[in-house]
Amino acid sequence: MRTEARAEVGLTPGADSRLPTNRYWVYALLVVAGVAWDLGSKEWVFRALGCPGQSAWEWHVPDVVRFRLHTNFNRGALWGLGQGWAPLFATLSTVAVAVILYVLFIRKHAHSLWLTVALGFVTAGALGNLYDRLGLHGWRDNDGPVHAVRDFLYFRFFETFDWAIFNFADSFLVTGAIMLVLHSMKHEHAASAKLDPLPAPSTSSPRA
């Protein structure tokens, strides 16, 4: 009961409490499946279409949304931010994964299934893009390995707005981030509700 009460307000269980075995499996399966899907989809699209700038398989709803596969190298982060900073982002990704493992399995936050899934998505996304930033995908230019993320999912809305080209690793990162925000909002509300004092009972006596 105490552990459940602490979990409700997002507090860390005691260091001596054991994590459910399925938390390790849930996290590992999410990470392995996510990384495999991300790297497999990148490999398939770039093998099929070739060098960046190639497009194929367009689908659209007239005047609303247009989607196609479009190969692109991103030397920055999400939405193309920080172009040319691949080494920095690779370092940050490595640190982030280490922190996630510590938080989940040393600090025991994996007691929360929601947090386990959310951070599993974040880890899968971070590792998928880290693989590319390290140049392990095999693409090269005149300077050697290309230290850039392979993107290929392109959306255009209302024939005027081009969404930044992205990949499934980016989707996993955003999904995990949204889940973390929702988790934080939920437990802030729960903690606030628990700390708010109940209104004092009325002491006025009924009138005759």
Kindly state the helix (H) or strand (E) to which residue 30 belongs, with its residue range. helix 21-49
141 is an active site residue = no
Selecting among 16, 63, 141, 151, the annotated active-site residue is: 151
Instruction: Tell me the sheet residues that pair with 61.
Output: 65
Selecting among 16, 63, 141, 170, the annotated active-site residue is: 170
CA distances from residue 200 to 1, 105, 134, 165, 189 in whole angstroms, order as listed: 28, 43, 62, 57, 22
In our burial notation (b when 16+ CB lie closer than 10 A, e otherwise), range 81-99 reads eeeeebeebbeebeebbee
Q: Where are the alpha helices (DSSP H) in 83-205?
A: 86-101, 113-133, 168-195
Query: What are the backbone dihedrals phi and psi of residue 59, each rounded to the nearest 5 degrees, phi first?
Result: -135, 140
Give CA–CA dist 154/70, Å, rounded: 6
151 is an active site residue = yes
Give the active site residues.
151, 170
